[in-house]
Chain A
Amino acid sequence: MATDQVLRKQQLFINPTARLAVCLVLDCSPSMSGRREWGAAVQQLDPSPIEELNEGVREFFDAIQHDEIAAYSAEVAIVRFDAKAETVLDFSSTIDVEAPTLELMEQGTSIGNAVNLALDLLEQRKAEYKEAGIDYYQPWLVLMTDGQPNDDAHVAAAHRTSQLLEARRLTTFCVGIGDGADFPTLRTFATVERPPLRLRQFAFRDFFEWLSQSIHQVSQTTPGEAPQMPPTRSWADPAGPDEPW
């Protein structure tokens, strides 16, 4: 085994903090470009949603790395998807990882493929924790999409997700972006207590700031109580279809 891999293992073992694996599942289909064509008229949002998303992810990593407890507790993976899904960043200690820049992909929105890949990554990481004897909190899955699924994979993936949710082995945060988001589908990946929320006009940075604060709260949870999440009003659209958390 190469020396750097040995060192990575050492780093994994010597950190005794209970881990919180967070998988970000992010829609990178072309609609995130902020370019709309209405016949001849072309509308371009500036900054574009994808730029806002990248800025949000960067600030998210920054916030975690500056929070000493969260830096050693949170581990972040990123899956981006169009009709396919791919791992942009696999799980590792957040402290020495740079935030990746997400690029736009092709047409399509396969929420099912994306969630399945994310759940696989989470399962694998949990198995690694177990093998090394590292404590962990039940992982988080953050799903952000602005479109409707273009295949049926989401039905099976939603079934898999809701089984984990029922067993309290997973927490999901589903966020719809813009008017095109398919809330009935998103709802199948969420619990009644924490339904999908609509993001207020590309407020990605506010969302990720909220997420890093929520991560901070997890390690301080009193037993028998759900983690105290900060209010979602900083980023959630009050006109969204569901009640905020």
Chain B
Amino acid sequence: MTAVPSTARKDWTDVVSNALVFVDTSFLMHPRARDALYGTDGRLLYATKRLIVPDSVVRELLKKYNDKNKSTRDAAEMGLRLLEDLRQANYAVRRGSDRDGRFADAVILSKIQEFWVRHNVILLTQDRALARDARAIETSRSVQSRHRIFVLCANDSGGLSHLKSATEVPANAMPRKRTFRSVTSPVIHPDEMIGGGIVPGIGSQLRSRFGMVTLIDEMARGGEGVIFETDYAGIVAKVFHPNARTVHRIEKIERMLAATSSLPAVTWPVSLATGADNEVQGVFLPHAEGRKLATEVFLPNLLKIRHSEWTRKDLVSLAIQLAEAVQYLHALGVIVGDLNPQNILVTDDARLTIVDTDSFQIEGYTCPVGMVTFTPPELQGKQLAGVLRTQSHDAFALATMIFMILMPGKPPYSQQGGGDPGANINVGQFPYPFGQQRGGTNQPAGPWRTIWSNLPYKVKQAFHRVFADKQRLTAAEWAAVLKGYAGMLERGHATDEIFPMHFKGISKEVGDRYGLQPTTGRLIQVPCAECGSLFSADETTPDMWRFGEEQRELCPTHARTLGTQRTCIDCGEKFLFSFADQASYKRNGLLPPKRCEQCRVRTKLQCAICDNEFRVLSSEVERFTFAGRTLCDGCADTAGTPFECAECHRVTVYSYREQAFHDRKGYVAPKRCKACRSKRKANAVDERQ
């Protein structure tokens, strides 16, 4: 859109007449900033008295005016000229002093927070991260106001547009105010249930720090409490079950209330909820839109139905939002503890929120629960109550969660021959291949191997580091890896399909390096005629996957287990000549095998005379054994016992092969040499004739 107020120009005038307009450095440095302010769109701002330029923005401009980079210098100079013109016209005013914070963004945000209660606020900026943080003030609802916050930017056609919020956490949105201590042991004072009071229900009134709030309707029921809609817009109440209403829990929430979280992706508590008898009954939290990750993403059937328009970009965006939320919480000194797909909500436009924040581990107040699938091996089978969780434990849960977002719902250690989710984690066998580490043959059946095949190298590497090499990546490292993936999707370097139909092809280089058959044609997904599982097949080489007289399509597993029967000429047993083998024999121009696999096995023998090693069929070992000694063919013919011929008196060798032959036939040892024997034999034949 170009003209901002195209929707309702008249309403817009009303908005502006009560508005404070803040101008940011990035806006002033935009090449079309002047046109945006003086053009048609800019006139719509005239109803405001003046534009407010924080002192820190001016200082930032002056600093950039001395920047090494010429284009930055030029833009800053242009901004300063514009600012000067605006001040000459008495349209802009410089506010604040050099005592203000060094960062213009932080100053602007705190000013917005301050004035928004009484005024509409318009922020002119090109910085999407700042836009997001400014809007977060409006949505966080820790302060209530009937006023609005607008974020506008100069566009390339010299007009004003609404600026889209950034999706990443900028470094300066990290909490600056208060972080939680890191502790070395859980709190030790005993935890007690707080008895008394009537458990509130629909219609009950509870006191908050912003007045009395009425519970309107039950929204959800969990293990620790019931969530109620309230008459206070944007605020829900979590009323604890009597057994979850404990001293520790309330002390923990009080600590959380002393800090602030400005990240909309986390529903930070806004107030305790107390009943008529001054007993704490629950906590007020910002309302979060969306439904559980457990159903929206982790159940592929529902994912396909409910979010048919989503692509892999949306999944990666969810993963990034999650990694950044955890990064943010870790920077704050908070451990999530029970990171699980029931506590994460996603909206139809793929925004993500972590809810159930009162189960976080805050300082020594631990998180007593968790789900098996997201629990690291070192905590499997242990009682979690009283265990101080660490960032490393969260990192395992985060990696698992990211894996299950990208491979919708499939846990990383899920595999053939596996079973119990906890046992799979304990064994710690990661079934997917990476680089030269060929994975096992136990990858689960279904679309998972195809998805894995299409993940970018760096994502596979990150998963392998965590699940095969047992390292932990920080939330920030995950965010970086995932942003790389998002970039590849944006540029079209990775498939945007959630369930890709094809494996990533094997290029000639990769094929040569790893000894694999390179892909020559398009890869298609074919269902195996035997088991129905889809496998990828190269369109141009049907002889690799279509077998037998019936030309049945078989997956690699069944191509190896089905075939024709042959009879072994050695042992007489029937043996399988699998379709895969038939194809490979044919390709290599070989005749079908005569012997079964056992009989085909060759044994390594060593000649007792010349020490040469040679291999023979197992069935033929006996042929090379002479009087208990193993001899090669050459030595069996040439070596033996010397003797003198009775006729010609020459000394010749009675070879071991001859000895063995004569033994077998039951002949006595010859008296004459071979030559004389042949002569006698020939003479005897002549005489008979």
User: How far is B445's CA from A135's CA once the two chains are assembled, in angstroms?
Assistant: 12
Q: Does A150 contact B (CB under 8 A)?
A: no
On whether the beta carbons of A9 and B531 are closer than 8 Å, the reply is yes
A16/B300 contact (C-beta < 8 A), A1-B532, A132-B416, A136-B419 known: yes
A69 touches B294 (CB 8 A): yes
Nearest to B302 among chain A residues (CB) is A68
A9 touches B532 (CB 8 A): yes
B531 x A1 contact (CB < 8 A): yes
Assess whether B298 is in contact with A16, with CB atoms less than 8 Å apart. yes
On whether the beta carbons of A15 and B301 are closer than 8 Å, the reply is: yes
**How many angstroms between the C-alpha atoms of A130 and B431 in the bound complex?**
14
Q: Give A132's nearest chain B residue, CB to CB.
A: B445
Cα of A16 to Cα of B408 in the assembled complex, Å:
8
Segment 573-632 of B: residues with Cβ below 8 Å from A: none
Q: How far is the CB of A146 from chain B (nearest CB, A)?
A: 34
A136-B420 in contact (CB<8A): yes
Nearest chain A residue, comparing its CB with the CB of B444 = A133
Contacting residues, chain A, for B295 (C-beta < 8 A): 68-69
One digit per residue, 1 when the CB lies within 8 angstroms of any chain B CB and 0 when it does not, for chain A 52-89 equals 00000000000000001100100000000000000000
* Contact in complex: B531, A135 (CB < 8 Å): no
Using a Cβ–Cβ cut-off of 8 Å, how many residues does chain B contribute to the interface with A?
53
A220 near B371 with CB under 8 A, answer: yes
For A7, the closest partner residue in chain B by CB is: B532
Identify the stretch in A106-114, A182-190, A198-206, A221-229 within 8 Å (CB) of chain B at 4 or more residues: A221-229
A133 touches B421 (CB 8 A): no
B371 contacts A137, C-beta separation under 8 Å: no
Q: Complex Cα distance A222/B384, Å?
A: 8
Q: How far is the CA of A126 from the CA of B418 in the complex (A)?
A: 10
- Which one of B371, B416, B442, B445 lies within 8 Å of A222 (CB-CB)? B371
Contact, CB under 8 Å: A13 / B533: yes
1/0 contact string of B213-247 vs chain A (CB within 8 Å): 00000000001000000000000000000000000
> Which secondary structure dominates chain B's binding surface?
loop
B294 neighbours in A (Cβ, 8 Å): 69
Asked whether, in the complex, the Cβ of B421 is within 8 Å of the Cβ of A135, the reply is yes
Given A14-B447, A130-B417, answer yes or no on A9-B533 (Cβ-Cβ < 8 Å): yes
Name B379's closest neighbour in chain A (CB-CB): A223
- In the bound assembly, the distance between CA atoms of A13 and B414 in angstroms comes to 12
Report the interface size for chain A: residues with CB under 8 A from the other chain. Answer: 36
What residues of B have a CB within 8 angstroms of the CB of A72 in the complex? 299, 301
Chain B: minimal CB distance from A8 (Å): 8
Q: Which residues of B contact A165 (CB under 8 A)?
A: none
Which residues of the other chain, B, contact A5 by a CB distance below 8 angstroms? 532
Contact A126 B419 (CB under 8 A): yes
Which of A5, A8, A15, A18 has most B Cβ within 10 Å? A18
Specify which chain B residues have a CB less than 8 angstroms from the CB of A221 in the assembled complex.
Answer: 371-372
Cross-chain contact of B446 among A13, A126, A219, A222 (Cβ < 8 A): A13
Q: Given the known inter-chain contacts A6-B532, A129-B419, A135-B418, please indicate yes or no for A17 contacting B380, CB distance below 8 A.
A: no
Q: A72-B299, A137-B420, A223-B379 are in contact. Are A13 and B447 (CB under 8 A)?
A: yes
**In the complex, residue of chain A having the shortest beta-carbon distance to the beta carbon of B383:** A224
**Known contacts A16-B411, A132-B446; A223 and B420 CB within 8 A of each other:** no
Asked if A193 is an interface residue, CB under 8 A from chain B, the answer is no
Determine if B409 and A222 form an interchain contact, defined as CB atoms under 8 angstroms apart.
Answer: no
- For A224, give its contact among B382, B417, B527, B534 (CB under 8 Å): B382
A132 to B527, CA, bound (A): 15
A residues in contact (CB < 8 Å) with B: 1, 5-10, 13-18, 68-69, 72, 95, 126, 129-138, 219-225, 228
